[in-house]
Amino acid sequence: MSELPVSVIVPVYNAGEYLSQCVESILGQTQKNIEIILVDDGSTDGSGKALDAYAGRDPRVRVIHKENGGLVSAWSAGAEASHGDYLCFVDSDDWIDADMIRTFLSHASKEGSRFREREIISGGFVIERESGRPQRKMSAAPPGEYTDERLQACIKEKILGYENRTMILSRCMKLISRDLILKNLRVCDRSLRMGEDLNIMAPAVLDAKRVVLLDCAPYHYRFVGGSMVHGYDAGMYDNIVRLRKRLETAVRERKTPGGMGMVRAEFMFLMLLELKNEIRRRDVSAKAAKESFAAAVRGSGMQELLVSYGDRISAPADRLLAFAARNPSGLRFYPVRFLFLHH
């Protein structure tokens, strides 16, 4: 084991009331020999000073102050400055159980193993809502070790295009070999504002030589209500198209069997987000919203995608969107839009 087995990277922007719980959960890890990199992405609420205070209190903590550049820019800066064999990402409004890193590290390969620089150890996570019961989310593939043919058949060839991820593709709730992240950072599209984790993690999984899925959920994802979830995003479609190109390049360069079909199915699920974006917009008339919805359906080839992959959709809201997209007439669009705007 190297002197620094794990670097924990926390991107921080105006983290406010949640920062303390996040950082304290990392400082309190039972695995003491870790590097903690807190990246202040141009915060204006005093978060930067709070990070400096943590660095003054614990020598394991390093703080990077940078101009605001967005989430990818922040965690990338932390990854590039890290020294650990493995990277662990924690977002500043989330927190982790005290034994997460020790548990994950106990499943890592030994020094000198052929897997050491190309492996991912992943758990699940718990969605923590301000009201309501916590919800546990796990990868769809069974817990266990995946290498060689089993990794290829069970994970890599099913990594995209399914409603329930074979393997959760968040960069969080994992230990990831530093080499996997740095290699793919050089070619990832850092301008993406949606699907940022998919942008880095799908290629990283395709490059991995060993994946371990654990039957535990030690990462706590804070679901904060009142976010921008219902705001119209005029750039979402272009973002999705750029992400699709990135994923196509990834599967093509790695000669992934069935890779282009996986990306097409993934594009269908991403387009469901864009159709939801269009159907919920309130900045135009209902007629104009219908026209932009229909244009998105035509421009993306959504009807053909639904013929090929529509049977993979099971979430009720997405099935409603698919119903409207198969024939985006007023008879379907307006009732579905009413449901989305009032529920």
Interval 134-187: pLDDT, tens: 999 999 999 999 999 999 999 999 999 999 999 999 999 999 999 999 999 988
Domain boundaries, the chain: 6-225, 229-342
Other Cβ atoms within 10 Å of 130 Cβ, number? 9
Beta bridge partners of 86: 6, 177
pTM of the model: 0.93
Is the pLDDT at 226 greater than 70? The verdict is no
Length of the chain: 343
What CATH homologous superfamily does 6-225 map to?
Answer: Spore Coat Polysaccharide Biosynthesis Protein SpsA; Chain A (3.90.550.10)
Q: How confident is the model at residue 41 (pLDDT cuts 50, 70, 90)?
A: very high
Rounded Cα distance, 300 and 38, in Å:
40
Question: What is the predicted pLDDT for the residue at 228?
Answer: 41
179-183 contacts, C-beta under 8 A, 24 or more apart: 179/117, 179/118, 180/117, 180/118, 180/119, 180/120, 180/204, 180/207, 180/208, 181/79, 181/87, 182/79, 182/80, 183/207
322 with 313: CB under 8 angstroms?
yes
pLDDT in tens, 255-285: 999 999 999 999 999 999 999 999 999 999 9
Residue 252, SS3?
Answer: helix
Backbone angles phi, psi at 41, to 5 degrees: -90, 55
